Amino acid sequence: MIELKNFNFKYGKNQVLNIDEVKIPKNEIIAVIGKNGAGKSTFANCLCGLKKSCKGEIIWGDNHLKRKDLLKKTYMVMQDVNHQLFTESVLDEVLLSMDDENICVAEEILTNLNLIHLKEMHPMALSGGEKQRISIARAILKDAPIIILDEATSSVDPENENLLMGAIAELTKNKTVIMIAHRLKTVRNADQIFVLSGGHIVQTGKHEDLIRQPGIYADFIGIRKKAIGWKLK
């Protein structure tokens, strides 16, 4: 169980995130939804320790975690990973995930690359979907207990999406997963949904419960269903 208390972040004088208290069960999939500017990305960045000035308590079992602990226990797979690729080979890119290269032999790395159907190529020649699979390979090798997904398949073609979903399924086995979600299928399949508005979590629960309540979530589902049924005449 991860518990957040008085979890907040300010950008200048603006309060971007302000969560009084929320509990995230171990090994569950949490979908985080909300309009643009609701605080979804800030929530994810604070939770994985990327925001130095984020305030509040993060309790893991009986332990209070510090920012350095979060960086070790979490891994984020973003929509756009172009800025994450630094080296001259795919193998080197995956090795960047390792805290200690001595604990991972080349055979294990190549096994994981094969798992995500990625040939060894120069990073500059890779598509967006292939770069995302490199990021997932890093996460698999890091073996962090908390995985944060910023809708990793939202901007890829159907073929790459199927490959990515297979890699994500492998990555998230026995993990606590927090997904910034925009797609109806992603949200409906979550164990629990957090609805963000104005930096606050205003609704929590399962899809079948929230859909019956008037509010942001029911509106979100209604809009998504209309979008799916929309056709150009």
Q: Please, which residues bridge with residue 210 across strands?
A: none
- Other CB atoms within a 10 A radius of the CB of residue 47 amount to 23
In tens, the pLDDT along 213-222 reads 999 999 888 8
pLDDT of 197 above 90: yes
- Which residues, other chains included, contact 230 with Cβ-Cβ below 8 Å and sequence gap of 6+? none
Copy the structure tokens of residue 118: 């990625």
Tell which wins on pLDDT, 84 or 57: 57
Copy the structure tokens of residue 113: 């690359």
Q: Exposed (0-12), middle (13-18) or buried (19+): which is 211, by Cβ within 10 Å?
A: middle
Mean pLDDT (whole number) for 131-143: 74
The full length of the chain comes to 233
What distances in angstroms separate CA 17 from CA 51, 95, 102, 164, one per listed residue? 12, 34, 39, 30
Copy the structure tokens of residue 143: 């073996």
Lowest mean pLDDT among 11-20, 30-39, 131-140: 131-140
On average, the pLDDT of the chain sits at: 78
pLDDT of 106 above 80: no
In tens, the pLDDT along 17-38 reads 999 999 998 899 899 999 888 9
Distance CA 74, CA 52 (A): 15
Q: What pTM does this model have?
A: 0.80
Lowest mean pLDDT among 58-62, 100-104, 121-125: 100-104
Mean pLDDT (whole number) for 112-126: 60
pLDDT of 6 above 90: yes
